[in-house]
Amino acid sequence: MFARARWLLTGLYPDVRIGDAAGSALLFNMEKLFETVLGLRIRHACQVQAGARLSVGIQSPVKNLATAGFQLRPDITIQSEVETVAILDAKWKRLDLGEANSGVSSGDAYQMNAYASRYRCKRLALVYPASRDCPPGRITEFVLMTEERPVLDVVAVDVRELAFGSGIPAGIDAMIPIERHWKQQSSQAPIHAAI
């Protein structure tokens, strides 16, 4: 372990050159890493700003699409006590703003439509890593043509800011109405007058 750690720290890595130097490779499932870091950042920010009023599930809650299965497992689910506030799905893919629908695949849109229907959620987001050709922030939105008319935001997140910043990443912050939920909860609380 120490020898491999030394290789990594000294910058020794497999290369295309000929030679007999031993090297090491380290691979990560970037989609899973992106999804987990994004979910944990959002969970922490919601706990700090909203306390117990909002809960953030990562890969939960699981629901079935049909009576015999087809499990739905959203990457990130933000819930209040009474409703699913937002569902986010992290995609480790590049957006191409020059393509139709900014490069969002039909399959990803269908998946979000299934989440909207089954979880009765009106705010959805597909979250992608930002790139040189796709700056961070909200890229576009789609209104899904179902009876409830949920809004699907497409957001690009700066992965450096995601790794080293704090709070909810830009572009996602506008779709998580922490203040609105706090005000709704406090205004619904009964007022007791001292007699």
Give per-10-residue mean pLDDT for the chain (195 aa). Answer: 73 62 70 93 86 86 84 93 93 92 94 94 95 92 93 94 85 70 44 35
Secondary structure letter of residue 134 according to DSSP:
B
Asked if 161 and 169 touch (Cβ cutoff 8 Å), the reply is: yes
Looking at the domain 29-188, which fold is it? tt1808, chain A (3.90.1570)
Which pLDDT belongs to residue 187?
44
> What's the CA angle centered on 139, arms 123 and 41, to 5 degrees?
60
Q: How many residues does the chain have?
A: 195
What is the reported pLDDT for 25?
Answer: 63
Rounded Cα distance, 63 and 183, in Å: 30
pLDDT at 84 (0 to 100): 92
d(CA 69, CA 79): 23
CB 35 within 8 A of CB 41: no
CA distance linking residue 195 with residue 179, whole number of Å: 32
What's the pLDDT score for residue 183?
44
DSSP 16: S
